[in-house]
Amino acid sequence: MSDVLDPVLTADGRGPLPRTRWGSFVGGKWVTPDAAPAFAVLEPATGNHLADVVEADAEVVDQAVRDARRAYEGEWGRLTPRERGGLLRKVAALIREHAEELGELEAREVGKPRRDALRFDVSFSSAGFDYYGGLADTLHGDVLDQGPIEARVHYEPYGVVAAILPFNWPPLHFTKKAAPALAAGNTIVIKPGEQAPLAVLRLVEIVNQILPPGVVNAVSGLAAGPALAGHPGVERITFTGATRTGQAVLRTAAENLTYATMELGGKNALIVLDDADLGTAVDVAVEGMFYNQGEACTSTSRILVHRSLHDEFVGRFVAATAALRVGDGLDPQTDIGAMVDARQQQKVLGYIETAVSEGAKIAYQGQVPVEERLSRGFWVAPTVLTDVRPDHTVAQEEIFGPVASIMVYDTDEEAVGIANGTAYGLTAALITRDHFRASKLARDLQAGMIFVNNYLRRSFLGSPFGGVKGSGFGRENAVETLHEFVRAKNVRFPSGRAPIPVWPPTD
């Protein structure tokens, strides 16, 4: 079968996949041994079988790391930063050529609207390689005058980087790991989320049309993550995913003292202040909560509304939520797609049941598709909860689905206390007409990113992304990210400006 998707779609809007059996991509070629176990990838909207993916065992992971090391010490390591940057920009151009293919593939395996996959995820992927391609030759060291010593500070790549990805934004997460790591001179082994690995695997295959073999590799399957995190040949780990999984990765990495960046979960608060414009508040809340089906660490799943605005806000927010269309991601009219798999679906439904049992009320719950062909999809209707207290389970734990919890408060101090009162600290948002007030509250909020009168996540590239507390450490998507993938070496020469002091002193 051709490795390129046919751009002509079938009658139900679905084009053919590039292959039905996938595996790992190591050293520039597919690794899909017939005897190895495989797992199925299902289409969330229909429950239909999409493809089988062969699991990587420890031997395949070891080979990927060795091939990555060989590429780092070979052709890739001999390139200048400007040459690396030029190749990354060629990668960006090739991703743009395959944008339609990648957008459809992602929509089918994740369940999200193809419209959003194309406009955000795939667009970010090509833009990210362009961005870091342009920065590759800007990462330079320094020379420090220390009297008798001239200290030359060199920034050197780690070598082999392991990147462990979640399922929810596959092209985006692939790029935010791979592009800066490669720009800094490393090679990389990617482990995609097993719920939706196909777009990442296809991207790795596309990238390998430009880059030397072994520079970018991918290993598939649940067991590949721990094997990669614990491999002694991996010198740097970058992880995005659930906090509990990140903690397990860190424990494994600690055996080899492997440095890691962790982009973890979020339980983000949107605070609607008493002077807020309600139209802006509702627009921001709808996007913050329901974009990507709520399957986002940045989801504003806690909406804190001042008591004086609460009832009117709830009415407007429910009306706006009811206007969202739930359906097949390949339908251009769809706003909210299916959950990625049955396990995620049941987890989210369980949170709704728990919320009601703890005293919350369902102010609104939408409808899921009734078409026969979508009857086996993994649907969760957008749900709005009121009477939620700060100690409720839904106010403390990351849900990762289309469930909004509306909470009431009376003072700014109370709102900040509620917002900061979880284990997480990824984002927070403020809706207010008073910029001075927003500036003060932004300093008080314990989060890595604060949004004021907007929740535009589709323009992160170029500004630092990351959290505090249980949301992790390290920053992505920005110039600063390059420094996550290099380490400083201090080389000290006599400066010639003064004699080198000797010890013990002679006088």
pLDDT, one tens digit per residue, over 437-457 is: 999 999 999 999 999 999 998
Average pLDDT in the chain: 95
pTM, to two decimals: 0.94
- pLDDT tens for each residue of 16-50: 788 889 999 999 999 998 889 999 999 999 999 99
Rounded distance, CA 221 to CA 6, Å?
27
**pLDDT above 50: residue 11:** no
Q: What values do phi and psi take at 154, rounded to 5? A: -105, 140
- pLDDT value of residue 7: 35
Does CATH number 3.40.605.10 belong to domain 21-264+467-489?
yes
Is-catalytic flag, 109?
Answer: no
**pLDDT above 70: residue 330:** yes
- In the chain, helix, strand, coil percent, each to 5? 40, 20, 40
| Helix H or strand E encompassing 412 | helix 412-419
Q: Which of 106, 109, 263, 398 is catalytic?
A: 263
The residue whose two tokens read 């955000």 is 120
Rg of the chain over all Cα atoms, to the nearest angstrom: 24
- pLDDT value of residue 5: 35
User: Could you give the angle at the alpha carbon of 374 between the alpha carbons of 369 and 380, nearest 5°?
Assistant: 50
- What are the beta bridge partners of residue 239? 164, 262
CB 165 within 8 A of CB 177: yes
C-alpha to C-alpha distances, 109 to 41, 112, 247, nearest whole angstrom: 7, 8, 27
- pLDDT value of residue 459: 80
- pLDDT value of residue 3: 38
- pLDDT value of residue 6: 35
- Domain spans, the chain: 21-264+467-489, 269-459
Q: Who contacts 485 (Cβ-Cβ below 8 Å, separation ≥6)? A: 157, 158, 161, 180, 181, 183, 184, 186, 236
Rounded distance, CA 361 to CA 206, Å?
48
- What are the beta bridge partners of residue 261? 238
**pLDDT above 90: residue 1:** no
Is-catalytic flag, 97?
Answer: no
Does CATH number 3.40.309.10 belong to domain 269-459?
yes
**pLDDT above 50: residue 179:** yes
| Rounded mean pLDDT, 413-440 | 98
pLDDT more than 70, % of the chain: 97
Strands 49-54 and 21-22, by their bridges, are parallel
- pLDDT value of residue 2: 32
CB 162 within 8 A of CB 237: yes
Residue 12 pLDDT grade (very low, low, confident, very high; cuts 50, 70, 90): low
- pLDDT tens for each residue of 338-358: 999 999 999 999 999 999 999
Q: Which of 43, 101, 194, 297 is catalytic?
A: 297
